[in-house]
Amino acid sequence: MITSLNDIDLNGHYTYADYVKWQLDDYIELIKGKIFKMSPAPLSQHQVLVHRLDVELGYYLKKKTCQVFPAPFDVRLTTNNLLSDEQITTVVQPDLCIICDPSKIDRRGCIGSPDLIIEIISSSTAKRDLDDKFHLYEESGVKEYWVVFPDEQVISVYLLDETISEYQLLKHYEKGEKLKVNILEDLTIDLNDIFD
C-alpha cells in the first residue's frame, strides 16, 4: 500500500485506478496522468469565500436537481466517453462545483463535467487555475467557470461557447455588483455578501 508521495514516481503517468489505491495524507490532483500536489492548507480568507459561496448556492439549490459540492470532492474529467478507472487520467478537486445531472454523481464523487466550477486563486495555485485548469475545464465541457480573486475582490466569469468549445469572458464582477449565475435561471449573488 502506498501511503507517501515519496513512494510514487512523480514523473510517471497514472490513472484513476492508481489514484484510488493510494492512502496519502497529502491532497493531490491528476491532470492528464501527471500528479500535482495541492498547496498547503488554504488561508482563512480562502475558506471564508468558499463557505459564503457554498451557502449562497446551497440555499438556492435546496430541493432542486442541481447540487453544490465543496472540496475535497473528486471530479473525474473524461473525454471521448472513456469512463473506466483505468482510462480516466484526470481527477481534480475544485474549490466548488455545481452538478445538475444526478447520473454524474456516485459515491466517489463526480464522473464527467460539472456544470459550474469555481476556483479561488492563491499565489500558489494561480498558474494552474488560470492556465492548466482553465484549458482542462474548457476541453472537458464545463459550461461555466468562475475564477475568484480574493485580494482584488473580483470574480471573473467565463462561459463555454459550445460552437467553438472555447471559453468567452463574460465579465469581471467586482464587489458592489450583482453576479448572475448563468447555468441557473434566476439566481443572482450580491458580491457585497461574498466579499464583505
One-letter-per-residue 3-state SS of 83-109: CCCCCCCEEECCCEEEECCHHHEECCE
Instruction: Specify the residue for cell string 464587489.
Output: 175
Strand locations in 121-196 (E): 144-149, 154-161, 166-174, 178-180, 188-190
Look at residue 51 and tell me whether its pLDDT is greater than 90: yes
The candidate with the shortest Cα–Cα distance to 32, out of 18, 15, 20, is 15
Mean pLDDT of the chain: 93
Query: Across the strands, what pairs with 31?
Result: 34
Q: Biggest alpha carbon distance in the chain?
A: 51
Per residue in 18-33, pLDDT tens? 999 999 888 899 999 9
Look at residue 79 and tell me whether its pLDDT is greater than 80: no
Cβ contact 79:62 at 8 Å: no
pLDDT of residue 168: 98
Domains and CATH numbers, the chain: 39-195 (3.90.1570.10)
Cβ contact 110:80 at 8 Å: no
pLDDT band at 42 (very low <50, low <70, confident <90, very high): confident
pTM of the predicted structure, to 2 decimals? 0.94
**H or E element at residue 55:** helix 44-61
